[in-house]
Amino acid sequence: MRGDRFEAVVLDRRLPDGDGLEILDELRDRGDDTHVLVLTARDTVDDRVTGLRRGADDYLVKPFAFDELVARLNAIYRRSQRQINPTLRLGDLTLDTAGKIATHRDDRVELSAREYNLLEFLAFRAGEVVTRRDLEEHLYRSDSEPTSNAVDRLVCSVRARLADQGADDVIQTRRGIGYTIARDDA
């Protein structure tokens, strides 16, 4: 788990090699803000308060209903996707995440829904390298297997549409790893 990035982690307190809160402490100590739902049989108020104070986003006591676990994870995800300002700015490129519209210097970039989703996914992770596998999992339904070069073709298409608007070199390739958009630190 140390090298991977997750949207959320379900963490049990009783692990074979210790308390799951030690893993939570490790995450928070290194500045990892991955959302964590603690799942445990420890059900006292003190146990719940301790887990939340140490950085858990939610705490669910066993036994639990699977539907409740899924609902809590979805709630954590929804909260993580909210922004005070639904606009992402990367240099001259602007993404209106509410309206799902990309513009470059006030000119609209015509993108299909999947093209926009790819661009937005990369933009939310500006400065990070996003693997092809992560893009496949985000862009394609789990019941359909994309072709081996589907992500590459989609990136090529988005690049062409951006280039038509004068936005060259927005998406960079990290050969053998994936793609990235530079963070706009200006």
The CATH number assigned to the domain with range 8-81 reads 3.40.50.2300
Q: How many Cβ atoms are within 10 Å of 167's Cβ, its own excluded?
A: 21
DSSP letter for each residue of 2-26: -S---SEEEEESEETTEEHHHHHHH
pLDDT for 156: 95
pLDDT (tens, 9 = 90+) of the chain, 186 residues, equals: 455 667 788 999 988 888 889 998 888 888 788 899 999 898 888 888 888 888 899 999 999 898 899 888 888 877 776 655 678 888 899 999 888 899 999 899 999 999 999 999 999 888 889 998 888 888 876 556 667 788 999 999 999 999 999 888 899 999 989 999 987 654
pLDDT for 180: 93
pLDDT for 61: 92
Domain-wise residue ranges, the chain: 8-81, 87-181
Is the overall model pTM greater than 0.75, yes or no? no
pLDDT for 82: 60
Q: What class, spelled out in words, does domain 87-181 have in CATH?
A: mainly alpha
pLDDT for 1: 44
Strands of 171-174's sheet, edge to edge?
Answer: 130-131, 178-181, 171-174
Q: How far is the CA of 103 from the CAs of 118, 119, 147, 151, in angstroms?
A: 15, 12, 29, 22
3-state SS, residue 29: helix
